[in-house]
Amino acid sequence: MEDRGRHRIGITESDGFTPLAVAMQQGHDKVVAVLLENDTRGKVRLPALHIAAKKDDVKAAALLLQNEHNPDITSKSGFTPLHIAAHYGNDKVASLLYDKGADVNYAAKHNITPLHVASKWGKINMVTLLVAKGADIQAKTRDGLTPLHCAARSGHDLVVDMLLENGAPMHAKTKNGLAPLHMAAQGEHVDAARILLYHGAPVDEVTVDYLTALHVAAHCGHVRVAKLLLDRGADPNARALNGFTPLHIACKKNRIKMVELLLKHGASIGATTESGLTPLHVASFMGCMNIVIYLLQHDASPDIPTVRGETPLHLAARANQTDIIRILLRNGAAVDAKAREEQTPLHVASRLGNVDIVMLLLQHGAQPHATTKDLYTPLHIAAKEGQEEVASVLLDNGADLTATTKKGFTPLHLAAKYGHLNVARLLLQRDAPADAQGKNGVTPLHVAAHYDHQPVALLLLDKGASPHAVAKNGHTPLHIAARKNQMDIATTLLEYGAQADAESKAGFTPLHLSAQEGHSDMSSLLLEHQADPNHAAKNGLTPLHLCAQEDRAAVAHLLLRAGAQKDVQTKAGYTPLHVACHHGHVNMVRLLIEQGAEVNPITSAGYTPLHQAAQQGHVLVINLLLKNKANPNAVTNNGQTALGIANKLGYISVVEELKVVTETNITTTTTVNIEEKYKVMAPEAMQETFMSDSEDEGGGVDEPPMAYGRPTHAQHVYLPFYQGHMTYTHLQAKRRAVVLLNRNGSEKYTDIHKKQKY
């Protein structure tokens, strides 16, 4: 029984065909009839009717259709038997299918009809049959291809002619705007193109990118089609959307025969694209030697600049085309031609590190001292890009080690900035000044510290760079390393004698900067090297004040353990607790109180920490202060209690909290004007200008000092870091402002600042 089961008529063979499929393939009509009578089933690669259509087996197809087979049954790919018949040109079975109701315009995958298939494969008999049976001659695929496109692309000139005779639309375009003539040009089908032109196809029809058939022929290098088009009046100077002419395209694709043909037919050798590229620019960039020579022989100018001011020599240098550069120079190209930013080909070659091109340019008189608009020499560029060999060649040819950019940077500054150790070593070996200062006073060591290039910093120190060098703002390299948390750099600097308590012009030490940024490890390192935790800047700010300002609790712990004074006051009398309360940092307030900070110190204006918290609307801070015996009845020099300040500023939650603990009979005899009375008091802020992270080396260090959080023109009300006053009009506006309750329970206004980013 098991053996008989293996040979049941519906079983599938190992290759995927049922016995029915095998019988049909072998032409055993009687076997096919028997299998059909027994209703054979089975999964096959092609349905049986498709196989019959493929073999043009009319008998088998007729038998299948007698058994109620659907004439439009589809394969896995979505094609009907009529598509298959069209593919193989089997018009007999196609006629049978049509007679049995097959849809002559059935759109398969991607909207392909049988007429598309027949046209693509050049089956003229099928095309004739399908057209006669009503096939849509204008049918379009998903991409917009008509049967005429398919025939033209495949070069079936008889089909092209037949379709055109039956009204096929020669102006029909694909989604990309390709007409049938473009298709013929793409496939180098001269006869198909000739037939299309004979029937009136526009010779200069354009795509959506304004490409003509001549552009397409030039791209593909189809000279015979191009000649036909030119003979029929095609414009040799037609411009595509980007301004490319057929000559540009021929140069890009290295089609020398096409270049010769186009020039003979009047193509402009000096035509420019939208970006100013001539054919010579294109050929030079692409390294098309024969075309470059041919263009130069036909009087192409080697010095025409693009919109960016680049000559063919610039582009050849950019593409590392050594031989092209040699040809251009021999034909009179200006070796020091300057582009829009005044860079020469030598600048370009130096950036890319092509030593052969650099030497070739120098041998032809290129100036190693040439500068760009920003005063970069080729040596600056080589240093920036880490091109050690190029830098060595430039130095051998007299490049200036001390040349400076607009920002005062030497090549050594740039090697330090980008961490190119070998270039830095080379420059120092050639006696580059290790402590050269830019306009902002920064040395290469400052730059190496800023960008965390420890090996370069170590090299500079070994070569005598001073760890004590100060920039215009008074920052030493250690200030920069401390602020940016560059631990390796800082350790190296301290080992070479950098002073942990070096002051900036405003009196800030590296520990101030580290504390403000919350760098615990850096702060520990500085304290280990005897940094003073109580060092006060000129405005009186200590590192602990800055921790309080920025809510850096971890660093504050370190400072307090190292002996930082909890109640130290600034010039205006602010303690760290004042600062923490002003900024609403509850955890910092709690830490300072737990460490024994005085709860009721007063500033020179008579403000307690409670006044500061009330002025800024920090409810949670106020609760914490009151629990720790803050005096709600203290008055400022202007006679204001914390409750009075909160009430004037419209902090409803703060008023509700304070009115139950504040005595109502407190008065003051102080007489002041209304604006003075409502002055908003704020702690001092760090006013330091830092080195920029931007590509512009000087990066804003010459700008006027700016405090963190300096208000913009639209921010006149909430001034948490700004020492100034508010008018009565400002106060009225503030009371009317929309109050938002933030996550820590503090009332804030909609015009809250963001900290100034450096």
- 582 pLDDT above the threshold of 80: yes
CA distance linking residue 44 with residue 25, whole number of Å: 12
CA distance linking residue 438 with residue 445, whole number of Å: 12
Angle of helix 48-55 relative to helix 91-99, nearest 10 degrees?
Answer: 140
Contact 226, 261 (CB under 8 A): yes
Adjacent-strand bridge partners of 748:
740
How does residue 666 score in pLDDT terms, banded at 50, 70 and 90?
A: low
Q: What is the pLDDT of residues 43-93, one digit of tens each?
A: 445 688 898 899 888 988 888 888 767 899 998 888 999 999 999 999 999
- 505 pLDDT above the threshold of 80: yes
**pLDDT for residue 664:** 73
- Among 59, 85, 103, residue at a domain's last position: 103
Contact 123, 163 (CB under 8 A): no
Domain for residue 292, yes or no?
Answer: no
Q: What is the pLDDT of residues 400-444, one digit of tens each?
A: 999 999 999 999 999 999 999 999 999 999 999 999 999 899 999
Domain for residue 83, yes or no?
Answer: yes
CA distance linking residue 646 with residue 747, whole number of Å: 11
Report residue 240 as tokens: 């595509």
Mean pLDDT of 529-543: 97
Contact 51, 26 (CB under 8 A): no
CA distance linking residue 322 with residue 304, whole number of Å: 20
704: containing domain: 576-749
Q: What is the pLDDT of residues 553-568, one digit of tens each?
A: 999 999 999 999 999 9
CA distance linking residue 730 with residue 736, whole number of Å: 10
What are the φ and ψ backbone dihedral angles of 218, each rounded to 5 degrees? -65, -40
- Among 70, 103, 136, residue at a domain's last position: 103
Contact 343, 311 (CB under 8 A): no
Domain for residue 68, yes or no?
Answer: yes
- 632 pLDDT above the threshold of 80: yes
How does residue 10 score in pLDDT terms, banded at 50, 70 and 90?
A: very low
Q: What is the pLDDT of residues 294-333, one digit of tens each?
A: 999 999 999 999 999 999 999 999 999 999 999 999 999 9
Rg value, the chain, Cα = 42
**pLDDT for residue 15:** 36
**pLDDT for residue 691:** 64
Report which listed range, 99-103, 497-501, 708-712, is most confident. Answer: 497-501
Domain for residue 618, yes or no?
Answer: yes
**pLDDT for residue 679:** 61
**pLDDT for residue 570:** 97
Overall domain count for the chain:
2
- 730 pLDDT above the threshold of 60: no
Contact 350, 371 (CB under 8 A): no
Neighbours of 276 (CB within 10 A): 15
**pLDDT for residue 678:** 52
Q: What is the pLDDT of residues 159-215, one digit of tens each?
A: 999 999 999 999 999 999 999 999 999 999 999 999 999 999 999 999 999 999 999
Domain for residue 620, yes or no?
Answer: yes
- 739 pLDDT above the threshold of 80: no
CA distance linking residue 42 with residue 566, whole number of Å: 90
CA distance linking residue 513 with residue 522, whole number of Å: 10
Identify which has the larger pLDDT, 675 or 210: 210
**pLDDT for residue 316:** 98
Domain for residue 471, yes or no?
Answer: no
What is the SS3 assignment for 526-580?
A: HHHCCCCCCCCCCCCCCHHHHHHHHCCHHHHHHHHHCCCCCCCCCCCCCCHHHHH
**Residue 749, SS3 per DSSP:** strand
Domain for residue 411, yes or no?
Answer: no
Residues 6+ apart with CB under 8 A from 96: 58, 61, 62, 65
**Residue 746, SS3 per DSSP:** strand
- Among 103, 130, 146, residue at a domain's last position: 103
Domain for residue 402, yes or no?
Answer: no
**DSSP states along 684-749:** ----------SSSTTTTTTSPP--TT---TT--S--TT------HHHHHHHHHSPEEE-TTSBEEE
- 674 pLDDT above the threshold of 50: no
Q: Check which CATH number belongs to the domain holding 618 and give it.
A: 1.25.40.20
Pinpoint the alpha helices (H) of 573-641: 576-583, 586-594, 609-616, 619-627
Helix (H) or strand (E) holding 356: helix 355-363
**pLDDT for residue 419:** 98
Residue 322 exposed, middle or buried by CB count within 10 Å (0-12, 13-18, 19+): middle
Least confident window among 35-44, 356-365, 625-634 = 35-44
**pLDDT for residue 68:** 63
Q: For all residues of the chain together, what is the average pLDDT?
A: 86
**pLDDT for residue 75:** 85
What's the one-letter identity of residue 345? Answer: P
How does residue 20 score in pLDDT terms, banded at 50, 70 and 90?
A: low
Mean pLDDT of 669-675: 44
Mean pLDDT of 708-722: 28
Least confident window among 101-105, 429-433, 476-480, 675-679 = 675-679
Angle of helix 81-88 relative to helix 124-132, nearest 10 degrees?
Answer: 140
Report residue 146 as tokens: 């008509």
Adjacent-strand bridge partners of 747:
741
Mean pLDDT of 6-17: 37
What is the SS3 assignment for 270-288?
A: CCCCCCCCCHHHHHHHHCC
